[in-house]
């Protein structure tokens, strides 16, 4: 069976690589390795995501869902100096790289890297940022979103990027069918940027 970036423990030897990125005005120096998602660069979808939207200045607890090399977690930590950033990934190597990159950018005390099951149930997020692992299959992605979206704070939001040819429009419809408000913030280079929020109930709008 071939190894994927969503493997829990990559068995291949880690081939180390480094790259740089500029996100939300911050210059990042990212240490990476093979066996993780987009290990040699910031992938195109994430580029579209960060060019299209910025984190809200008042956010205090945020999540990088599927953290990969930790590019988003690091950028979120630098952009939101008062925030606690949680970064989750099933891939052990991704978690190691994210923790190392957080340390190298002075964020070790505010970026909390965990496997998904290790995030305390009491934590609620003002924002969730994610380039979801669409290639794990639609049922698994549905399960992933249905697990994490209910952990948004009452006025929180999730900002997602999904390839148009990987079902972005069908995911937007499905999210609406599940009772979430899902708006398209941007569309570029074959990707959609979606914002997901809770639908206000009567008397709370």
Q: Per-residue pLDDT tens for 161-199?
A: 999 999 999 999 999 999 999 999 999 999 999 999 998
- Phi/psi at 189 (nearest 5 deg)? 50, 35
How many domains in the chain?
Answer: 1
**pLDDT score of 177:** 97
Q: Is residue 3 part of a domain?
A: no
Tokens of 198: 């809770």
Q: For 69-96, what is the mean pLDDT? A: 97
In a domain, 80, yes or no: yes
Residue 205 lies in a domain: no
Least confident among 34-43, 94-103, 146-155, 178-187: 34-43
With a pLDDT cut of 70, the percent of the chain lying above it is 91
CB of 153 within 8 A of CB of 126?
Answer: yes
Reply yes or no on whether the pLDDT at 77 is more than 60.
yes
Decide if pLDDT at 83 tops 90: yes
In a domain, 6, yes or no: no
Residue 120 belongs to some domain of the structure: yes
Structure token pair of residue 63: 């999540």
Query: What's the CATH code of the domain at 118?
Result: 3.40.50.150
Q: What pLDDT is recorded for position 189?
A: 97
CB pairs under 8 A, 24+ apart, for 196-204?
A: 196/149, 196/157, 196/158, 196/159, 196/160, 197/152, 197/156, 197/157, 197/158, 198/152, 198/154, 198/156
Domain hosting 90: range is: 16-198
φ/ψ (deg, to 5) at 199? -80, 125
> What pLDDT is attached to residue 5?
43
Q: Is the dihedral of CA 67, 72, 75, 76 positive or negative?
A: negative
Element (H, E) at 140: helix 138-148
pLDDT at 3: 40
Band of residue 39 on the pLDDT scale cut at 50, 70, 90: confident
Residue 204 within any structural domain of the chain: no
């Amino acid at each position: 069976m071939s190894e994927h970036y969503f493997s829990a423990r990559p068995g291949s030897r880690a081939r180390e690589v480094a790259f740089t990125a500029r996100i939300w005005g911050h210059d990042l120096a990212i240490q990476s390795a093979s066996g993780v998602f987009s290990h040699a660069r910031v992938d195109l979808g994430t580029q579209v995501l960060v060019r299209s939207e910025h984190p809200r200045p008042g956010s205090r607890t945020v999540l990088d869902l599927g953290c990969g090399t930790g590019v988003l977690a690091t950028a979120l930590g630098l952009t939101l100096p008062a925030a606690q950033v949680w970064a989750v990934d099933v891939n052990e190597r991704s978690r190691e790289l994210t923790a190392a990159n957080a340390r190298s950018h002075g964020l070790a005390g505010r970026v909390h890297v965990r496997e998904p099951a290790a995030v305390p149930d009491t934590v609620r997020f003002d924002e969730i940022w994610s380039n979801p692992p669409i290639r794990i299959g639609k049922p698994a992605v549905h399960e992933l979103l249905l697990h994490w979206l209910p952990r948004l704070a009452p006025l929180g939001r999730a900002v997602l990027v999904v390839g148009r040819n990987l079902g972005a429009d069908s995911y937007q419809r499905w999210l609406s069918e599940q009772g979430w408000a899902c708006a398209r913030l941007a569309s570029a280079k074959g990707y959609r940027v979606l914002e997901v929020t809770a639908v206000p109930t009567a008397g709370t709008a």
